[in-house]
């Protein structure tokens, strides 16, 4: 419990000071991916379901938010809500179909559905196809906070992230989260205790997809762009990497994972294509030697050294 409080304090302190130390747009990007990874972790780390189609929720939420704000005159908050709803609705469809299968088949169904909506995004005229949806205005939050100001935008993104992260943290430590953990640990036993596990998995899936949508919609406002990159299956793979690297099944792990991967992509940009190789090497190292991820291994070290968290 105490360790978690320290984690929250560090998180807020870093969140408040980061834009004065680092390029704010980079921090906003990290925050969006961190939220995305945390939402993904709710499913992978706490329910034991490996989705390989989460890019669909991130990307489509971005398109709906972007289109709403740019073409329909939505306010930024309405655009974000619309994006979140899109993620949740898509999650309901994906989840309903995929949870009938387990393991690798579950992952394949989510991947297939994500590919399907990728091609829809490529073909529909309103998404801008290969060009994407460009020049999305950031607008005025609640009608009076000008989001074209970078610092205003930053603190708005930080607030969105903290709210999203709080919801995930709470869901993990709720009666619902207890049942999810039970399902992850021993599904037949959870069934034999009278739980309709499919309903719990579906709610977890919808929550995860909705929060991924929140991340995607926010990201669109930050970059004023919704593009195919975010619906592409590479993105679904990247989020697995971030979550595993940071530590799946740990509350703060995905944030660390997202920071490392996004930071690496940003500062390693001058290395060109070699960044991909570097990320690959890190991923292999992580899977071979640090199975618990950065936060998971740290937590184990602290536990072994006898400090109570």
Looking at residues 150 to 169 of the shown chain, list those that interact with other proteins (rule: CB under 8 A).
167
Q: Is 177 in the site for other proteins (CB under 8 A)?
A: yes
Number of CB atoms found within 10 A of residue 11's CB = 16
Looking at residues 37 to 56 of the shown chain, list those that interact with other proteins (rule: CB under 8 A).
none
CA angle 70, 121, 150 (to 5 degrees): 40
Q: Is 134 in the site for other proteins (CB under 8 A)?
A: no
Tokens of 228: 């195919």
| Binding test (CB under 8 A) with other proteins, winner from 100, 101, 170, 291 | 170
Decide whether 100 or 199 has the Cβ nearer to other proteins. Answer: 199
Provide CB contacts within 8 A for 97, sequence distance 6+. 109, 113
Q: Which of 83, 145, 113, 144 is nearest to 236 (CA)?
A: 113
Q: Is 233 in the site for other proteins (CB under 8 A)?
A: no
Q: Is 185 in the site for other proteins (CB under 8 A)?
A: yes
- Dihedral, 154, 156, 160, 163 alpha carbons, nearest 10: 110
Decide whether 134 or 178 has the Cβ nearer to other proteins. Answer: 178
The CA distance from 29 to 90, in Å, is: 23
| Binding test (CB under 8 A) with other proteins, winner from 155, 195, 233, 283 | 195
Stretch in the footprint of other proteins (CB under 8 A) among 5-13, 189-197, 219-227, 238-246: 189-197
Q: Which of 51, 71, 99 is nearest to 233 (CA)?
A: 51
Positions touching other proteins (CB under 8 A) are 167, 170-171, 173-179, 181-182, 185-186, 188-197, 199-200, 203, 207
């Amino acid at each position: 419990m105490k360790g978690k409080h320290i984690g929250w304090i560090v998180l807020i302190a870093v969140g408040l000071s980061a834009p004065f130390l680092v390029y704010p747009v980079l921090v906003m990007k990290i925050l969006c991916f961190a939220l995305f990874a945390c939402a993904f972790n709710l499913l992978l780390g706490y329910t034991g379901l490996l989705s390989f189609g989460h890019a669909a929720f991130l990307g489509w939420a971005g398109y709906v938010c972007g289109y709403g704000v740019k073409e329909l005159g939505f306010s930024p908050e309405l655009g974000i809500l619309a994006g979140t709803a899109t993620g949740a609705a898509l999650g309901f469809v994906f989840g309903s179909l995929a949870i009938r299968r387990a393991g690798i088949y579950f992952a394949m169904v989510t991947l297939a559905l994500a590919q399907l909506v990728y091609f829809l995004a490529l073909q529909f005229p309103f998404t801008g196809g290969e060009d994407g949806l460009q020049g999305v205005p950031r607008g005025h939050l609640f009608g009076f906070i000008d989001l074209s100001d970078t610092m205003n935008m930053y603190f708005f993104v930080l607030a969105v992230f903290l709210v999203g992260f709080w919801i995930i943290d709470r869901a993990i430590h709720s009666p619902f989260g207890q049942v999810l953990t039970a399902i992850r640990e021993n599904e037949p036993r959870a069934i034999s205790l009278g739980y309709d596990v499919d309903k719990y998995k579906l709610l977890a899936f919808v929550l995860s997809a909705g929060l991924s949508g929140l991340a995607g919609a926010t990201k669109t406002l930050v970059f004023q762009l919704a593009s195919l990159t975010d619906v592409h299956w590479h993105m679904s793979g990247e989020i697995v990497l971030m979550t595993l690297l940071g530590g799946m099944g740990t509350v703060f792990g995905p944030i660390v994972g997202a920071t490392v991967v996004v930071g690496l992509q940003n500062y390693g940009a001058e290395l060109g294509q070699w960044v991909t190789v570097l990320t690959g090497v890190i991923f292999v190292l992580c899977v071979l030697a640090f199975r618990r991820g950065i936060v998971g291994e740290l937590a184990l070290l602290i536990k072994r050294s006898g400090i109570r968290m």
